[in-house]
Each structure stands twice: as structure tokens, then as C-alpha cells.
Structure 1
């Protein structure tokens, strides 16, 4: 009969001091946990099998580890969705003229900090370490908390993008003495003004719209 390698107390999971992973992360993942458990079962002495209570405890520990892993993944996915949602929301600021202010480390005689102020057009937005940053046309970088006032609706291109959100909406309008209802099928810019093209071949402007549904 072939020699068998008896299982020893040093092979139990609770006695594993540290498991080094090649990734550099010292945390024991669920795959490594299961691999160690399977190794224990394969190498145990059939005449002296692992105690049931210890096996159940280790399986419970594995189940708990798997749940923690899944929960961590769920939180990571949620954070990613939140970041994408914020990016979409803040993207509406691109092209807008804003007034900003920021406190400096310099102080005046009474001890109050000096505040820098300015205006500029937001040209880009990005996330840095989970925080939103706006880059102005002059290269100045500010955060949402630095914005004290939005001075304009932005460039014509940005206004056209915002107007395009009306596509598919049903509007009622008053065009001179003519009143009607139609669905917005496209948006164009004509002579510097935004024009809405309706499904009934009517073209109207924003100030002619009475209701949106």
C-alpha cells in the first residue's frame, strides 16, 4: 500500500499565518481559500478524517469570504455607476461661462484669508481621485465648490446639444395665429437661433412652445 501523507494540525486554515499572493496583495481570496481547503481534503488520512465541526466551520468561513467578496464587487460597481452619473450631470457645464472664487493661504491684517475671484468658460471636465475638476478655457482648474455663479448658458454648440434633448417630445405651440401640436423630430440652428422641427413639418422657436409632454 502506498504511503499516505497524514493531515496535521499545521495544515488547518486557522493555522495559516499568512498567504502570500503573487499579485502582491496579502489578503486571502476566496479562490486561494478553496484551494487550501481542497488540498487538506486530498491529503488527509482516510482513517483519521477531518473533524466534521472543523470542516463545517471552514466551509462557513469560505461562504462568509465569498459573500464579502461579492459585496465588495457590488460596492465597486455602484461607485462606478455613481461616477458615470455625476460625469453626465456635470457635463452640462461644459461651454458655460461661470464666476468662481477660491480661498488662498495668504491672509490680510485682520487674519482673514484672501479670496481670489475670476470668470471663465468651462472647456473640460474630469474625475481626479473621485473628485470632479473643471478646466477653464484659460487653463485654470476649479472644483464645483468654487463656482459661485453661472453667467451664461454657454456656447451655441452646447445650447444645440441641450436643445436636442427635446427630440421625441410632444409640444403644443402658438405660431402667430396658428396653434397646434406636434412631435419634435429634429433641432437645427438658423440665424443664431435654435429651431425645432416638428412631425407636421412646422418649425417653431422655444418662445412659441406652450407645453411639453
Structure 2
């Protein structure tokens, strides 16, 4: 495969992908890259069709895993919201007993849940927290 074809395909990927820390290769970009690879292959040693099918199968598996992860994240967020909602109005006590109070509201972050207590204190909900 010729270098300009690779550079053109890479530029195509960068311009179409969202601005994130890790560039994502979408299905359309993958097909464009595959077509570019097919157009620019060495005619004296063409790639086997089984190699193309293996590439498509691998991409399909990765795409399905990405969708599964996205749905799992949504399910976990929904579960966290339901659990957080269930402690509003209840009394929570920290594992060491130093912070206690009635939960007025709850804030959910990527790394955990923080209960806002009626006495103005905050308590990170985690292991060892007593809820009554």
C-alpha cells in the first residue's frame, strides 16, 4: 500500500472523528479506509478476501462491544439514581460515627454519590455507611 493513501485515510479519520483524547474510527471511516486499502494494494500480491472478512468481523465485534458498554453505563447510572433517590429523607451515619444526619439531597458523580445532610454536612456514600 502506498504511503499517500495511508496519509489520506488518516487525515480523513481525523477530520470526521469527534475531538476527544482517543480518536474513534466509525463504521463509515472504517469502510473508507478498507476501500482505500483495496484500491492501493499491490496487484502482484493482492490481499486475500478472508483477510478482508476478518477485518470486517473484528470491527463488527469492537462496534458491538462499544454499544454494549454504552448501554451498561446507562444501566449503572439509572441504578445509581434509583439508589440515591431511596435514601432521601433517611438518616445516614458515617462508618466511624462522626457524621450523621438526615439526607436532604444527593449529588451523583462519576466516582461516587455524595449525600447532602440537613445539618449542612456532606457524606460520601460508600462501604460502612449506616442508613436508617
Structure-1-length-normalised TM-score:
0.47
Question: Are positions 1:78 and 2:60 aligned together?
Answer: no
2:98 maps to what in 1?
117
Query: Is the contact made by 2:101 and 2:118 (CA closer than 8 Å) also made in structure 1?
Result: yes
1:21 paired residue number: 14
CA RMSD after TM alignment: 3.2
Q: 1:144 to 1:117 in 2, by over 3 A?
A: same
In structure 2, the CA distance between the partners of 1:149 and 1:138, relative to structure 1 (3 Å rule), is same
Q: Which of 25, 30, 36 pairs up with 2:27? A: 30
Bigger relative contact order (CA 8 A; separation at least 6): 2
Greater percentage in helix:
2
Runs of 4+ in 1 over 6 A off after TM superposition: none
> Equivalent of 2:54, from 50, 60, 67?
60
Aligned length: 123
Tell me the CA shift for residue 44 of structure 1: 5.8
- Cα distance between partner residues in 1 of 2:93 and 2:34: 62
User: How far apart, CA to CA, are the structure 2 residues paired with 1:78 and 1:62?
Assistant: 24
TM-score (norm 2): 0.70
The SS at the match of 2:93 is strand
Structure 2: runs of 5+ lacking an equivalent: none
Matched-pair contact (CA < 8 Å) for 2:112–2:125? no
Matched-pair contact (CA < 8 Å) for 2:105–2:117:
yes
Structure showing the higher strand proportion among its residues: 1
Which SS does the other structure have where 1:98 is aligned?
strand
The gaps in structure 1 that reach 5 residues or longer are 1-8, 103-115, 151-213
